[in-house]
Amino acid sequence: MKKSLFFTLFLLLLTGLALAQTGLKKRRPLPHEYGRVELNNFSEKAGRAPVVFDHWLHRAKFTCRLCHVDIGFAMQAGSTGIAAADNERGYYCGACHNGRTSFAACSTKDQPATGTCDRCHSAGKKVTRHYDFRAFTEKLPRGRFGNGIDWEQAEAEGSITPVDFLAGVSIKREALTPQKDFDLTAKVAGMPEIIFSHQKHTVWNGCELCHPEIFLGVKKGKTQYSMTEIYEGKYCGVCHSSVAFPLIDCQRCHIKPVR
C-alpha cells in the first residue's frame, strides 16, 4: 500500500517535471561529469579555452565549506565571476593554484600558451589529465548515482580525508556542536519520513554553508519547502542536484533507518 502510493507520487512528480522542462529529457551526466562546472565569463573573449572545474577531485581533497565559505566561491555555476587577475593575486583558484599548494593558475602577462594553462583552460581540447577518474575512484565505495561513489562512506571509512583549513585563508575556530539528527515529516501522508543528519552534513559543510542562506533554520519547521522547490534547486536541492548525490536517489532521503 505504502509502496504503491510512493510510486504514484513518483510518477506524478516526474510528469510535472517533464512538463516543466519543456518536455525534453536531459541526458544524465556520466559519473566523471557529475559536479563539473564550465567557466567562460572571460576566457573565450580573451582567446583562451573555457575552464573546466571538477568537483570529484577537489571534494576528495577539501571540504565544501573551505571553498564555499573561506575562499568564497558562489554555489551557482559562473556566478562568482573569477578573473585571471584574481587568481594571479591568490584569490579563488589562486588560493591553492599558486605554485605551492598546487600548480599555478593564470598569468595576466602576455604569455605563450603553456601546458599548465591548458590544465584548466581545457574545454574542447585534448588535455591529458594527471588524475584519471577511474583510477582515482577505483578503491572508493560505490554509490548508485551521481559520481557513482558513496562519498559519505568514503569519508567515514577514511578512504578520503577532506582538508578543512587553508593557511592564510581560513581562521581557527571552535567547532560548534551539531544539533541532534531529526525527522523531516513530508506533508503527504504515507510518504516515508526523512531523517536529516546534522552530524553527517557538518563534516562537509560546517554550519555556515546552510545557515542562514539556504535554511534560516533557527527553529525546525520554520522554513517551509516542498519537493518541487527542491527540484528547482532550492533548499536541499542546492547541493543534491549538482554535487552531492542527486534527487533520483529518493530512498536515500525518504527512509527511516531501522535501529
Binding mask 170-209 for ligand HEC (x = CB under 6 A): ------x-xx----x-xxx--x--x-xxx-xxx-xx-x-x
In contact, 115 and 121? CB cutoff 8 Å: no
Q: How far is the CB of 258 from ligand HEC (least distance, A)?
A: 13
CA 25 vs CA 18, 29, 148, 163, 231: distances in Å: 7, 12, 21, 37, 15
Residue 17 binding ligand HEC, by CB under 6 A: no
In contact, 112 and 119? CB cutoff 8 Å: no
Which residues in the 231-250 window bind ligand HEC by CB under 6 A? 235-236, 238-240, 242-245, 247-250
Which residues in the 88-127 window bind ligand HEC by CB under 6 A? 92-93, 95-97, 102-103, 105-107, 111, 114, 116-117, 119-121
Query: Can you tell me the distance from the alpha carbon of 125 to that of 162, in angstroms, rounded to the nearest whole number?
Result: 29
Binding mask 31-50 for ligand HEC (x = CB under 6 A): ------x-xxxxx--x-x--
Q: Does residue 212 have a cis bond before it (omega within 30 degrees)? A: yes
Query: Can you tell me the distance from the alpha carbon of 253 to that of 2, in angstroms, rounded to the nearest whole number?
Result: 16
In contact, 10 and 250? CB cutoff 8 Å: yes
Q: How far is the CB of 23 from ligand HEC (least distance, A)?
A: 18
Query: Can you tell me the distance from the alpha carbon of 56 to that of 36, in angstroms, rounded to the nearest whole number?
Result: 8
Residue 82 binding ligand HEC, by CB under 6 A: yes
Dihedral sign computed on CA atoms, order 210, 41, 59, 73: negative
Residue 153 binding ligand HEC, by CB under 6 A: no
Residue 228 binding ligand HEC, by CB under 6 A: yes
Q: How far is the CB of 158 from ligand HEC (least distance, A)?
A: 15
Tell which one of 32, 34, 49, 80 touches ligand HEC (CB under 6 A): 80
Residue 152 binding ligand HEC, by CB under 6 A: yes
Tell which one of 5, 30, 74, 156 touches ligand HEC (CB under 6 A): 74
Q: Grid coordinates in use for 79?
A: 556566478
